[in-house]
């Protein structure tokens, strides 16, 4: 946590222009790290997914840091080609290839949730930069069809979808985790059973400290606390979106937009899954779930947003050529 806070603070004061010049290097390192997860002896497999790189006793998840690389490279790319954002090759094909390189390596791990998240954020950034919907919508349709096919032909994933449609009938099997999470919310009621007094801490709920931490909070601290958390995420997104309307430059606008989209969409998916509103998919709750890589990346995104706003509020931090 201390390291994540320190990284976020450092990024909030870093020179964004310098970072922009190093963007392609950062993006290249992210791609190399993603590829290394697939190399036997380097990549670490957990629960059938090879998403980590082992560094001694530590494990790093490159797909988390690839989110930062994707935001930075798309923001830099579009800001340096503003005259061509409406064209097919420079405004659509090349950014799509950049996104496809990241998503392709992530889906090989496999990690469908992060792949979907990266694709959704990239498409939104492309649209905000000026890419036409007549190109984005067909690709989005093909992506949905492709995801549906991959789910349909994978027994494990199709079981997740069917259990989501009838949670109670599958409460002892494929929907066990989701059922326990929903029970936790019910037991907690409005004010909860008390901090540290929850039943789900007794390992009835798998992944209680990571993907399903939100039901544990609901059980111990109640609806008032979970509703407050939801309001905090809504306020964070609303405040950043409101400030983005004052953006003087596309580069900073896209950096802040991509950063808040990753944090907000991940929170929406996590809360949607644990409340039974979406099919089960392992995804951490930003700022709260246990997980070093995700926590670091979340605070780095927050640091990027603070950095952008600080530059707008204090024009002296800009390079003279930008004034």
pLDDT tens column, 147-166? 888 877 877 777 777 777 77
Residues 6+ apart with CB under 8 A from 284: 210, 211, 266, 270, 290, 291, 294
The model's confidence at residue 322, banded by pLDDT at 50, 70 and 90, is very low
Q: Would you say how long the chain is, in residues?
A: 323
pLDDT computed for residue 192 by the predictor: 86
In which band, very low, low, confident or very high, does the pLDDT at 111 lie, cut at 50, 70 and 90? confident
- String of b and e for 149-179 (b: at least 16 CB within 10 Å)? eeeeeeeebeebeebbeebeebbeebbbbbb
Mean local confidence (pLDDT), 18-27? 93
Q: Name the domain count of the chain.
A: 1
Q: For residues 1 and 290, give the distance between their C-alpha atoms in angstroms, rounded to a whole number.
A: 10
Please give the residue range of the domain that contains residue 162.
Answer: 2-322
């Amino acid at each position: 946590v201390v390291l994540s806070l320190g990284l976020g603070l450092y990024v909030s004061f870093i020179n964004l222009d310098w970072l922009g010049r190093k963007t392609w290097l950062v993006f290249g390192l992210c791609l190399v790290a993603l590829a290394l997860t697939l190399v036997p002896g380097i990549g670490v497999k957990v629960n059938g997914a090879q998403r980590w790189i082992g560094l001694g006793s530590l494990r790093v998840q490159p797909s988390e840091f690839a989110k930062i690389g994707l935001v930075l490279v798309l923001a830099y790319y579009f800001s340096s080609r503003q005259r061509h954002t409406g064209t097919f090759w420079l405004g659509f094909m090349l950014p799509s290839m950049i996104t496809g390189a990241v998503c392709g390596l992530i889906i090989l791990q496999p990690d469908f949730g992060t792949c979907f998240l990266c694709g959704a954020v990239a498409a939104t950034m492309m649209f905000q930069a000026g890419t036409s919907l007549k190109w984005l919508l067909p690709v989005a349709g093909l992506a949905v069809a492709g995801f549906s096919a991959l789910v349909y032909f994978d027994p494990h994933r199709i079981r997740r979808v069917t259990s989501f449609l009838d949670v109670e009938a599958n409460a002892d099997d494929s929907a066990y985790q989701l059922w326990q999470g929903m029970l936790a919310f019910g037991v907690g009621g409005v004010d909860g059973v008390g901090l540290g007094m929850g039943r789900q801490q007794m390992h009835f709920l798998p992944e209680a400290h990571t993907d399903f931490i939100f039901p544990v909070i609901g059980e111990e601290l109640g609806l008032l606390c979970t509703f407050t958390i939801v309001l905090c995420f809504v306020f964070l997104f609303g405040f950043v979106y409101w400030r983005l309307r004052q953006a003087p430059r596309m580069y900073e606008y896209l950096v802040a937009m991509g950063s808040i989209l990753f944090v907000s969409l991940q929170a929406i998916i996590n809360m949607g899954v644990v409340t039974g509103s979406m099919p089960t998919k392992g995804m951490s709750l930003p700022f709260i779930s246990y997980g070093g890589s995700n926590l670091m990346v979340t605070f780095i995104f927050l640091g990027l947003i603070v950095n952008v706003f600080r530059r707008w509020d204090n024009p002296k931090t800009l390079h003279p050529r930008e004034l």
